[in-house]
Structure 1
């Protein structure tokens, strides 16, 4: 079981891509539509389920007026909570929580996010994969969004877009970069494999 998360920073939130993301995620066994309820499930402020058509959820996300939390479904009773947030810089941040998932289920979620990060038309700024939840997802906002100089402990996997990777590699000599696919650079500590 895992208490971890995947935090995905998309460069610009100007282009809604929920339908394309849902199609890509579906290939990895994650469905936006609940298999029994037949609708997308959004969590309200009290944590209760609100059923929406996927198109309506896409419209709400496209408005970027508030954070929304929805679920991706691996089965009728196994879900991945996904929190969508928008930053003033126009960046969309998705935090997918891996709590309660098996290693195989977490692998599927990670693979889905990495495939979407590589394939969607809106560039990815960063993908942070912290399977054990060793750090807080919000700790990455400063270095990823605001050129912060304090680097949180490295997660299990860190992928950065090219301009951000160049900045990280210049600012943090203890890191090295390697092509990670989809125009992203995999960042690891010097000396690791």
Structure 2
């Protein structure tokens, strides 16, 4: 079972971009609408599910007013919790928690995020894939959001826009860099399979 996260940093999005993300994720069998409850499920501060439409959730994301936590569904019983944060510099993060997923399920989520990162019109700054949870998602904020130079423990894969990718490589020279398209570079440990 995976026990980690995917931290996705990008420029500020809108309800329309969120709708495109929903469409891309659905291509990988990951749905925003719960198959049995026929609604998106936002998780409130008490941990309870609050049903709403995709449009309502997209509107809340577009308003950029608060941290939102909601679920993506692989099946009616298997979900991926997504914590969305609007960052004051007109950027945003999404943390998709991989806890409890089997490796093939975690890989499906990773593939969906990577596809969305390279296809959405809103620029991705970085995607951190840490399947084992060896780093803290927030530890990447400095380098991915604010042009810092500190790099936490290296995760499985990093997808980053230049010059973020180059700053990460300077701090962690054991990484191999590959072109991922859309102006993004994929960074993996040199011993990592391609």
Structure 2: how far apart are the matches of 1:37 and 1:65? Answer: 26
Structure 2: how far apart are the matches of 1:174 and 1:64? Answer: 37
Change (3 A) 1:29 1:190: closer
**1:43 to 2:43 alignment:** yes
Query: CA-to-partner distance for each residue in 1:68-99, whole Å, 9 max, x for gaps?
Result: 00100011110000000011111110000001
Query: Where does 1:20-169 land on structure 2 (aligned, <5 Å)?
Result: 20-169=20-169
Query: CA-to-partner distance for each residue in 1:28-69, whole Å, 9 max, x for gaps?
Result: 010000000000000000100000010011001100000100
Q: Conserved in 1, the CA contact under 8 Å of 2:151 and 2:168?
A: no
Aligned residues: 192
TM-aligned CA deviation for residue 146 of structure 1: 1.8
Residue aligned with 1:75, SS: coil
TM-aligned CA deviation for residue 179 of structure 1: 0.9
Which stretches in structure 1 are left out of the alignment for 5+ residues?
none
TM-score, normalised to structure 1's length? 0.93
Structure 2: how far apart are the matches of 1:192 and 1:76? Answer: 33
Change (3 A) 1:172 1:104: closer
Q: Conserved in 1, the CA contact under 8 Å of 2:150 and 2:171?
A: no
Residue aligned with 1:154, SS: coil
Residue aligned with 1:19, SS: helix
Which stretches in structure 2 are left out of the alignment for 5+ residues?
none
Structure 1: how far apart are the matches of 2:169 and 2:58? Answer: 36
Structure 2: how far apart are the matches of 1:177 and 1:126? Answer: 14
Structure 1: how far apart are the matches of 2:146 and 2:46? Answer: 31
Query: CA-to-partner distance for each residue in 1:76-126, whole Å, 9 max, x for gaps?
Result: 110000000011111110000001111111011000000000100001000
Q: Conserved in 1, the CA contact under 8 Å of 2:151 and 2:171?
A: no
Structure 2 counterpart of 1:15: 14
Structure 1: how far apart are the matches of 2:148 and 2:28? Answer: 34
